[in-house]
Chain A
Amino acid sequence: KQEVTQIPAALSVPEGENLVLNCSFTDSAIYNLQWFRQDPGKGLTSLLLIQSSQREQTSGRLNASLDKSSGRSTLYIAASQPGDSATYLCAVRLIYNQGGKLIFGQGTELSVKP
C-alpha cells in the first residue's frame, strides 16, 4: 500500500529564507506527483505537476524535484514571503490507478514571519 509522508509537519522561517519541503513515498511505481498549497479552511491550489520521467519542474520561486528510485520529492521555495504561509501537500498518482486517484501526504504547515 502506498504511503506518502511529509517532513517536517510544521516549519517556521523568517522572511527571505530559502527552504525545502520533503515528500517521500513507498511505492516507486508512480505516474506523476503533484504539489498543492492549502490555505486554512480553503481548497487546494495546484502548484506543480512533475511527471515520473522528469527530474524537476519550476514555476516562479518554486522548484520541485523528483527522485523516483529513492521515493522522494522536494519542493524548494526561494526567497520566502509571508504570503507563502500555508500548508503544502504532495500527492502521488500510481501507474495502477488509471482512474486518476491521488494519494496525499499529511502536509507541511509553513509559517513565514515578517
Chain B
Amino acid sequence: EPEVTQTPSHQVTQMGQEVILRCVPISNHLYFYWYRQILGQKVEFLVSFYNNEISEKSEIFDDQFSVERPDGSNFTLKIRSTKLEDSAMYFCASSGGGTGALGEQYFGPGTRLTVT
C-alpha cells in the first residue's frame, strides 16, 4: 500500500542552525502538507502546497520556514534558524484524487526535531 515517508526519523540540531526535513508523498498525490506536534500538545497545521506554491499557511509559518518541491518526488520543509521552541514532531501529509485538498490526508511517520 502506498505510504508517505519522511527522513530523517530524528534530527538533533543546535539553536540557530538550518535544518531541512524531507518527505516523499504518495506518488499520485498533488497536495502536500506539513504539520507539527509539540510534545503533549495538539497537532498543528503549518502549510499546504499545490502546483509549486503555498495554498495556505498558519501564523506559525513565518519567514523562518520555507517549503519546496525540488523534484518530482520530494517535498521539503526548511527552518532557517532553529529556535528551542521549534522542537517538535514534524509530520508530512499528502492528499490527491478527485477531491484534492479536500480529500483524505495521509500522514508520514514524522521527524522528531530536537533543538539544543
Contact = CB atoms under 8 A, between A and B. Distances in A.
Interface of A: 31-32, 34, 36, 41-46, 49, 89, 91, 93, 97-107
A69 B32 CA distance: 30
B30 to A, nearest CB: 11
A103 B50 CA distance: 19
A42 B48 contact: no
B65 interface: no
A87 to B, nearest CB: 10
B84 interface: no
Interface of B: 4, 31, 33, 35, 41-45, 48, 50, 54-58, 91, 93, 95, 100-110, 112
Contacts of B110: 42-43
A49 B35 CA distance: 18
B45 A103 contact: yes
A89 B43 contact: yes
A47 to B, nearest CB: 10
B91 A102 contact: no
Nearest to B40: A106
A49 B107 contact: no
Contacts of A106: 41-42
26 contacts: A31-B102, A32-B102, A34-B104, A34-B105, A41-B112, A42-B110, A43-B108, A43-B110, A45-B107, A46-B106, A46-B107, A97-B56, A98-B101, A98-B102, A99-B48, A99-B56, A99-B57, A100-B33, A100-B48, A100-B101, A100-B105, A101-B48, A102-B43, A103-B45, A104-B42, A107-B42
